[in-house]
Amino acid sequence: MTAQLIDGKLISAQIKQEAAVEAAKIKEAGVIPCLAVVLVGNDSASQVYVNNKKKACEVVGIRSVSYELDGGTTEEELLRLVAQLNADEAVHGILVQMPLPKQINEEKVILAIDAKKDVDCFHPMNVGLLHTGGKGFLPCTPAGIIELIKRSGHTIQGQNCVIIGRSNIVGKPVAMLLMQENGTVTICHSKTRNLAEVCRGADIIVSATGKVNTVTADMVKAGAVVIDVGMNRNEAGKLCGDVDFEHVKEIAGAITPVPGGVGPMTIAMLIKNCLVAAKMQNNLK
């Protein structure tokens, strides 16, 4: 039996529809939700992401302002712009597109963004709130993964969840969110022994390594939910994830495709964070 295909495009469209209703309510209260996006340099992948974010804002009814700076921008100039956006009450969310050119310290920039406007959820204060279960923003890709699992009809509570990858952007935060949903979590990485064996005990597998064929059919138990966060190109140059999709889909209970799985969810959750920011900053319920 072939696995259920978890459609990230469809689920992200549902979330955007809900967000459009929410944005309209916020506007009725006299507030126009606004996201500022800063792009430094001309990295083509970053430009695509930024354009997709702008389009999503338009669809939902969020005002977006973009600042496209050239690759020679100094750290001081970028920090000055961030300070301006922090002080601008009409701007509710600030997103500085990573990676930044090598002359700019990314950590300094993340720390400079007002935590109340940090819709990417990278600021240590927001990361801390996530780890302590406090109220705040949810990191976009990890929160999108939780929505994919729940909205496609799967339970997290009591399930054995295996995450492959321990990055600050996906691996660690998705572990926190799965635990908040009462999943039992194991984090695996490049030094994990017997990875295949660990994965075979999983009800839910989340792979975020950026390596083709990290998860193969012999690593997946029948009926498991497999979430593929990877975005790679195989030997033929075709876009693919971390999971050997064609073989794993014959064993898994549910699986995300690449593209069209986790990717669209990241922007949908960013939009949600922007609305949360607008409400928090204006004391709206």
**CA 13, 233, 11: angle at the middle one, nearest 5?**
10
Catalytic residue among 53, 117, 172, 249: 53
DSSP, res 118: -
Residue 181: phi and psi, rounded to 5, are: -90, 10
Amino acid found at 239? L
Nearest by Cα to 34 from 242, 276, 274, 279:
274
Catalytic residue among 97, 116, 159, 228: 97
- What proportions of the chain, in percent to the nearest 5, are helix, strand and coil? 45, 15, 40
- For the question of residue 53 being annotated catalytic, the response is yes
CA–CA dist 183, 150 (Å, integer): 12
Place of tokens 């017997």: 194
CB 53 within 8 A of CB 37: yes
If one counts every other C-beta atom within 10 angstroms of the C-beta of residue 122, the result is 24
The crossing angle, in degrees rounded to 10, of helices 44-60 and 263-281 is 60
Nearest by Cα to 206 from 151, 157, 260, 149:
149
CA–CA dist 22, 272 (Å, integer): 9
Catalytic residue among 16, 116, 118, 120: 120
Nearest by Cα to 233 from 4, 5, 45:
45
Place of tokens 């302590």: 132
Catalytic residues: 53, 97, 120
